Amino acid sequence: MSKRVVIAGAGQAAIQAATTLRSEGFEGEILMVADELDLPYQKPPLSKGFLMDKLQEKNLLFKTEKFFEEKNVQLALGEKVTEIFQVNKAIKTNKGNVYDYDSLIIATGTRNRILNILGSELEGIHYLRSLEDAKSLKQKLATSKKLVVIGGGFIGLEIAAAAKEKGLEVTVLEVQDRLMARVLPPIISDIFEAKHRDKGVDIQLQKSATAFIGENNHVTGVQLDDESIISADLVVVGIGVVPNDDFAASGGIKCSNGIEVDDFTRTNVEDIYAIGDVACHYNDFMQSTLRLESVQNAMDQGKISALHILGKEEAYYLVPWFWTHQFELKLQMAGCNQGYDEYFTRGSIEEEKFSIFYIKDEKLIGVDSINRASDHMAARKLIQAGVTPTEEQIEDLDFKLKTLID
Amino acid sequence: MPKITYINHEGETTEIDLPIGHSLVEGAVQNDIEGIVAECGGSCMCATCHCYVDEAFLDKLPEMEEEEDEMLEDAASERKSNSRLGCQIRMTEDLEGLIVRLPETQV
């Protein structure tokens, strides 16, 4: 039995692993090693409620300081894991500290992909990942007039929406021919594009930035591949993330796109687990090997790793779900929304309250809901149970989908 | 600081200090009170922070928005006249001494 669990990271997955270890009766030591200095906090609101001043810093904390004391979860904050010694079962940090472990859980998440083009050292070019990033971006939003967002993914568009609502002029540049193309089918992309345009956001598709223009060391514009220049006094880059797996790879842990794990979140090295955004696994519902960058995956893998350490084997077989919130559109995604044969709509697209049910080989594989949270909750249960409603049941708003499960 | 009491389905009672402006979800999760799941982190998107609010406080609560009303219809445990989502209730001075009971299951 493990006596000392070291968790590298302090995000959603890491906190879940620590919480589950204690709630399931683990009495050994737990040490969380994390590079940020803040008490562990939630990241999703940083690009939403926090930027919009609806939530304060203290609202974001996962746990109070008292929790860590009472549950005896030790924190080594401001330290980054740099090396793993798998034979001696120890890790080393950038401060030179060495910590022994019986079990190691890697939950180091991802870092932003950096846009290295001419002028990228100018001031006024921001990224959003941490609370620190969010605080400085929020300050800038309060004093800036013209924002250019590079990247039309979740983060970029959530920031664009927040900035527009704060009264800034906003342009979004996206390389692809539609928004959020990696994660959404065209029908949903189009609805978000229309919403952003309707609110006055300038959406420019199939455009990429080639250089930042500046004066007095501060950004004043973004040059595009067609040579045109869009003026800006603030730029936010949201062009994706890369997994923080370098120290793991050099420590002999198998990595490809992130750290490879099995259904129990085990890596190829005994007693070393990887969970959350950094972990790469085969997902039955998505029918592919991938990293899921989501709260759901972080929480569920966190639980499963903790249970496995305690000798309770529970395989990861759970419907993935995500959400984003831009202007009045609350989108919740359950399961897989790609590779479908056909889809059916429940609710009203005009009223912005509907769900799209994706069917493949006559089986429900995914549901995207806009402002239909109850459909989303039902959809997760249906997909998990492998139950496919009929077209009539989907389209009939009076039919309660959850009755197919109960 | 205002106090709030959570009573879980087994009758276990926990009293905590909840700062003004904090939601019932934040209070429960930050203090490791079991019985509130809050999968979505408190964004009114999952109905896993269902609470039964003590009748004496019902008229002191913020009015329910359509969204919360819909979510409650689909909550895992029975909806009652005093059902609310914990993420939609933030502490105020009027709510000093608030008592909420937690349902049998949230998922």
pLDDT 10s digits, A84-107: 999 999 999 999 999 999 999 999
The three-class DSSP label of residue A131 is helix
Report the percent of chain B where pLDDT is more than 70.
Answer: 100
Residue B40: predicted pLDDT: 81
- Which of chain A's residues have a Cβ under 8 Å away from the Cβ of B46? 373, 377
Nearest CB neighbour to B70, from listed A42, A374, A402: A374
Cα A232 from Cα A16, distance rounded (Å): 40
How is A63-120 classified by DSSP, letter by letter? Answer: S-HHHHHHTTEEEEET--EEEEETTTTEEEETTS-EEE-SEEEE---EEEPP---BTT
Band (B39; pLDDT cuts 50, 70, 90)? confident
Is pLDDT of A1 > 80?
no
Could you tell me which residue, A306 or B106, shows the higher pLDDT?
A: A306
Average pLDDT over residues A161-184: 97
Is pLDDT of B76 > 90?
no
Residue B23: predicted pLDDT: 95
Residue A99: predicted pLDDT: 98
- Which of chain A's residues have a Cβ under 8 Å away from the Cβ of B73? 374
Question: What is the nearest CA distance from A167 to chain B, expressed in angstroms?
Answer: 24
Q: Is the CB of residue A6 less than 8 Å from the CB of residue A29?
A: no
Report the percent of chain A where pLDDT is more than 70.
Answer: 100
* A vs B: CB pairs below 8 A: 64
Give Cβ neighbours of residue A45 (< 8 Å, ≥ 6 apart).
Answer: A55, A59, A60, B41, B43
Residue B107: predicted pLDDT: 81
Average pLDDT score, chain B: 92
Inter-chain contact A56–B26, Cβ cutoff 8 Å?
no
* CA quadruple A111, A117, A120, A125: dihedral sign: negative
Give the least confident one: A196-200, A344-348, B63-67, B95-99.
B63-67
pLDDT (tens digit per residue) in A312-339: 999 999 999 999 999 999 999 999 999 9
ipTM above 0.90, yes or no: no
Residue B42: predicted pLDDT: 81
Average pLDDT over residues B93-97: 95
- Give this prediction's pTM: 0.95
Is pLDDT of B37 > 90?
no
What is the distance in angstroms between the CA of the first residue and the CA of the last residue of chain B?
Answer: 31
Give Cβ neighbours of residue A41 (< 8 Å, ≥ 6 apart).
Answer: A57, A60, A61, A62, A131
For A257, phi and psi rounded to 5 degrees?
-95, 80
Average pLDDT over residues B63-80: 89
The CA-based dihedral angle spanning residues A285, A288, A292, A296, taken in that order and rounded to the nearest 10 degrees: 10
Is pLDDT of A384 > 90?
yes
Cα B84 from Cα B100, distance rounded (Å): 10
Q: Is the CB of residue A15 less than 8 Å from the CB of residue A63?
A: yes
Average pLDDT over residues A198-225: 98
Instruction: Name the E strands within B54-97.
Output: 83-85
A376, closest residue in chain B (CA to CA) = B46
Residue A251: predicted pLDDT: 94
Q: Is the CB of residue A101 less than 8 Å from the CB of residue A91?
A: yes
Is pLDDT of A406 > 90?
no
Cα A386 from Cα A209, distance rounded (Å): 44
Residue B22: predicted pLDDT: 93
Cα A171 to chain centroid, rounded: 23
Is pLDDT of B70 > 90?
no
